[in-house]
Chain A
Amino acid sequence: MSAPLLALRGVRKVFGTRVLFEIDRLSVDEGGAYVLVGPNGSGKTSLMRILAGLDREAGGGMDFRGAPAAFTSYPERLRRSIVYVHQHPYLFHTSLRHNLEYGLRCRGVPAAERARRVDEAIAWAGLEPRRATPPAKLSGGEKQRAALARARALEPELLLLDEPTSNLDRDGRAQTLALLAQLRDERRTVIVACHDQEIIGLAGFTRLRLDDGRIALQSG
């Protein structure tokens, strides 16, 4: 059996005196699509932020491709491998193209390759007609799709999506669901935190349930 992409070890999050969760072990396989479910306040967003290195006060650590990392000293190299998309994604007040290019520039991708990947990302997200629209003027669904495309264009090893369909109208949800299904079909390793029954019900997604401070694989 091949080693998991990600193995969590003793992850612990505490708010004041309250232990939000303690996760002894959890493995995420490469190419797997996961949904992280659980009641409000169970710590889904907190766990995603810990994995993304946005919360450095959590205890424990993880092995990423076998290399150990503590959350209190999150390695910079993991920021190139793990990409987190906020529940309400932020698009920079520049242009759609600049947003999609941003992470590629950070990675030193050459201009020609950047242009190719940005064009591909715009087409993937169905944003061709909105190419010249300032990001601030995109609809909620379009912003969500742009953020997904921006993250996907970086070809991360692990994609963390926080409630990607919350506050979207029907059309926006349907389009986002279609993109999530594509990510699954492309064998991207993705964890989606959500309440959305349609995402939870998507075929091929493994369900992780975070409840009462514990996490468990849950059969469909």
Chain B
Amino acid sequence: MDLLEPTRQAFALLFGGDPELWQIIWLSLWVSVAAIALVAAPSIALGFLLAKKRFPGQRAAVVLVQALLSFPTVVIGLVIYLLLSRRGPLGSFDLLFTPWAIMVGYMVIAFPILVVFTIAAVQGADPRVYETARCLGAGRFAASLTTLREVRFGILAAVVNGFGRAISEVGCAIMVGGNIAGLTRNIPTAIALETTKGDFAQGIALGFVLMVVALGVNVLLALLQGQGGLR
């Protein structure tokens, strides 16, 4: 198969400002960013609690969150579909086959990643961080925030991974978004569709964008880590 011609067409689409292509890219970006922005704070708080507090059922809760990591995204999509469908308990919100449904799916997919990464980061923190904060007069909440700030690069890694998983996810997005052109078609669902149609140019262009986004956020993370003097 000739790869040069579709690649040339892909770059022509990208840099030619193809409106359909850029609409797909924009939808993917805003839905992923919004999902992570909404789910990050509660996930990080839960991760901190699971890492630091001892309570009945804590171990079971950690195992459950870890198990969620390996749940197939189509199953997550199916559950959300059933919840949001007309006859489902959340059907009255009329969210199915809208970008909001995809956002909910991304939040559910990113949630265990954020929680598990936060648990690892907080458990890996030097115990003197919290103690030092307390000895200097910080209350429990302030000392907890200080601990999170000390492991901020681990938390940032959690956010970057959650974002990466969301923006590249296809199964759940197809199920709850429906891959509707101009409304819910995003980068991974468009790649899947165009490839099955044999239209590789758009798939290559969108794949290129995904890789640039993945590289960009990871370079940003590495730069921030460098500035933190933690290398």
Contact = CB atoms under 8 A, between A and B. Distances in A.
Interface stretch (B1-9, B123-131, B187-195): B123-131
Interface string B127-148: 0110111111111001000100
A86 B132 contact: yes
Interface string B108-134: 000000000000000000101101111
A83 B229 contact: no
A134 B229 contact: yes
B228 A86 contact: no
Given A93-B228, A93-B229, A103 B137 contact: yes
Given A86-B128, A92-B150, A106 B229 contact: no
15 contacts: A52-B135, A54-B134, A54-B135, A76-B139, A79-B137, A80-B137, A83-B136, A86-B128, A86-B131, A89-B132, A90-B126, A90-B128, A90-B131, A90-B132, A136-B229
Given A54-B131, A86-B132, A90-B126, A106 B228 contact: no
A154 interface: yes
Contacts of A151: 136
A63 B230 CA distance: 43
Contacts of A93: 150, 228-230
Contacts of A86: 128, 131-132
Query: For B132, B228, B229, which residue has the most chain A Cβ atoms within 10 angstroms?
Result: B132
Interface of B: 126, 128-129, 131-139, 142, 146, 149-150, 228-230
Nearest to B140: A76
Given A89-B132, A92-B146, A92-B150, A107 B137 contact: yes
Contacts of A88: 128
A20 B139 CA distance: 30
Contacts of A136: 229-230
Nearest to A92: B150
A137 B132 contact: no
Contacts of B230: 93, 136
Contact of A137 (B128, B133, B136, B229): B229
A85 B136 CA distance: 9
A150 interface: yes
Contact of B134 (A79, A85, A94, A134): A79
B136 A103 contact: yes
B5 to A, nearest CB: 51
B150 A154 contact: no
A106 B136 contact: yes
B131 A150 contact: no
Given A86-B128, A93-B228, 11 more contacts: A52-B135, A54-B135, A79-B134, A79-B137, A83-B135, A92-B132, A92-B150, A94-B149, A102-B136, A106-B137, A106-B138
Interface string A40-58: 0000000000001110000
A90 B129 contact: yes
A51 to B, nearest CB: 11
Contacts of B135: 52, 54, 79, 83-85
Contacts of B228: 93
Contacts of A84: 135
Nearest to A137: B229
Contacts of B132: 86, 89-90, 92
A54 B134 CA distance: 9
Contacts of A154: 136-137
Contacts of A94: 149
A52 to B, nearest CB: 6
B141 to A, nearest CB: 11
B125 to A, nearest CB: 10
A154 B142 CA distance: 17
Nearest to A160: B135
B124 to A, nearest CB: 14
Query: For B138, B139, B142, which residue has the most chain A Cβ atoms within 10 angstroms?
Result: B138
Contacts of B136: 83, 102-103, 106, 150-151, 154
Contacts of B137: 79-80, 83, 103, 106-107, 154
A93 B128 CA distance: 13
